[in-house]
Structure 1
Amino acid sequence: MCRMARPRKPLLSRDRIVEAASALVDSEGLDAVSTRRLAAELGVSGPSLYNHFRNKDEILDAVADAVSAQVDLSMFDEPDTRDWRAALHDWAVSYRAALTEHPHIVPVLAQGPGRRPAGLRVADAVFGAMVRAGWPPAQATYIGALMRYFITGSALGSFARGFVDDETAYDPADYPHLGQAHLLAERRQKVDEGAFETGLRALVDGLSLQYELLSPGGTVRPAPKRS
């Protein structure tokens, strides 16, 4: 019986293209991605990519959506038994973790979900959870936007990495309060994660105060003035 020979290389697919593009973005950044480079990485001819994607932007969209698919949404599955504050906090931590694993794709994600399925599922889950918790739809939209600004902004860069590991760079005569700034670089993860957690808790606490001021009509009453 004659058997068909197996292809020497796996057949080209959307998943293979996205995987190769994601590896390029992670290692070299967005500018490294081109259809020619991807074709070379995959060992195929350039035009074969167009059987799966129309252009580079569609490929990057798919890479971004693959990252969105890594975000945990399970905390929104049981809205009746999970406080919206805890769910929002835990989702934000998961979202940032996914972005910090793939920081070069963050500028694409920051543009919004567009038509990306996983990105839209994220937006739908957050908005739906806030509305179910009692937030008016307009406020739920603001919360979703606020959280995206905060999370993507935190993943776009590192505050700690912005300082050099050289104590002579921060002369006390010029910068009297930066005597320990040269230590930030080596403590980058702790500083950046601590800053994110501090900001996240401040946001959730602030939203909690607004939530307490919600009127029966679904608007936020002004906070009482302090004497």
Structure 2
Amino acid sequence: MTEKPRSGDVWTRPRGGRRPKLTREAIVETAIKVADAEGLDAVSIRRIAGDLGVRAMSLYTHIDAKEDLLDLMYDEVAAEVLVKGELPDTWREAMFEVADRERQAGLRHPWMLELAGRSPRMGPNGLRHVEQSLAAAGRLTDDPESMLAIVKTIDHYMLGFITMERHLGEDGLRGANTSPLEQDYVRRLLERGELPHLKPFVDTGLHRRDTFEQGLNWLLDGIEHEYRRK
């Protein structure tokens, strides 16, 4: 089926539909469940319509194209990242909470990283998230360029850590997968004494421990040192 071109932003278009049981919210919720369980490639207009028990054409009364659906999914998950109420008092506490909420959402919805690479259109929740991030950075510096640099630096660390967790496993969130450091080949090298500095970390399991908080604190230390001395 050839999808028709989109007309403007999905958030500014009226919510169509004659079937009372078919809503934009139900479509997005179903799509997120499919993506969480099977990945982003499993999401299609036909698949979501089938899961909802309607014809594929029915979805086009609510969205113009599949890209609309992806944008809506991204923005729906962005709501999970928003800090409820007021941000914490200090810039450091605020940035830490924002980054940690991003991380938790990314682990619950791993397809978000892939979708972020496609540059989805920014929706209301995504815009509020950017606003909160800049507001947190603004408590350390009032220079717009510096505020953006701080937010982007912390985002890059957070995204890199999520990527590592997805591939290596993270206890308590995604379950433990086999680490490359536990492969037979690596074990043989360790037993032959060829990796003396690495061996204690593998023997004690230190290489599997969650260091997100420690790494983020180090990053915040460096940022704070840079701007406090100015």
Asked whether the two chains share a fold, i.e. TM above 0.5, the reply is yes
Matches of 1:195 and 1:169, distance apart in 2? 26
Query: Is contact 2:91-2:139 (8 Å) kept?
Result: no
Percentage identity across aligned positions? 31
Query: Is contact 1:167-1:182 (8 Å) kept?
Result: no
Matches of 2:49 and 2:214, distance apart in 1? 44
Q: 1:199 aligns with which of 215, 221, 224?
A: 215
Stretch moving more, 42-51 or 103-112: 103-112
Please show how residues 17-96 of structure 1 align to structure 2 within 5 Å.
17-74=27-84, 77=86, 82-96=89-103
Unaligned runs of 5+ in 2: 1-18, 170-177
Q: Using a 3 Å threshold, how does the CA distance of structure 1 residues 184 and 120 change in structure 2: closer, same or farther?
A: farther
Number of the residue aligned with 1:6: none
Query: What is the aligned-residue RMSD (CA, Å)?
Result: 2.8
CA deviation after TM superposition for structure 1 residue 181, in Å: 4.1
Matches of 2:219 and 2:148, distance apart in 1? 15
Matches of 1:182 and 1:51, distance apart in 2? 58
Q: 1:148 aligns with which of 155, 158, 165?
A: 155
Query: Is contact 2:138-2:147 (8 Å) kept?
Result: yes
Partner deviation per Cα, 1:196-221 (whole Å, 9 max, x = no partner)? 1122111110111011122xxxxxxx
CA deviation after TM superposition for structure 1 residue 156, in Å: 2.7
Number of the residue aligned with 1:217: none
Number of the residue aligned with 2:109: 102
Bigger radius of gyration, 1 or 2? 1
Unaligned runs of 5+ in 1: 1-8, 215-227
Matches of 1:183 and 1:21, distance apart in 2? 41
Query: Is contact 2:46-2:56 (8 Å) kept?
Result: yes
Query: Is contact 1:113-1:120 (8 Å) kept?
Result: no
CA deviation after TM superposition for structure 1 residue 174, in Å: 8.3
The size of the alignment, in residue pairs, is: 198
Q: 1:176 aligns with which of 182, 189, 195?
A: 195
Number of the residue aligned with 1:160: 168
Partner deviation per Cα, 1:42-74 (whole Å, 9 max, x = no partner)? 111111111111222221121111111011424
Q: 1:138 aligns with which of 145, 150, 169?
A: 145
CA deviation after TM superposition for structure 1 residue 152, in Å: 2.1
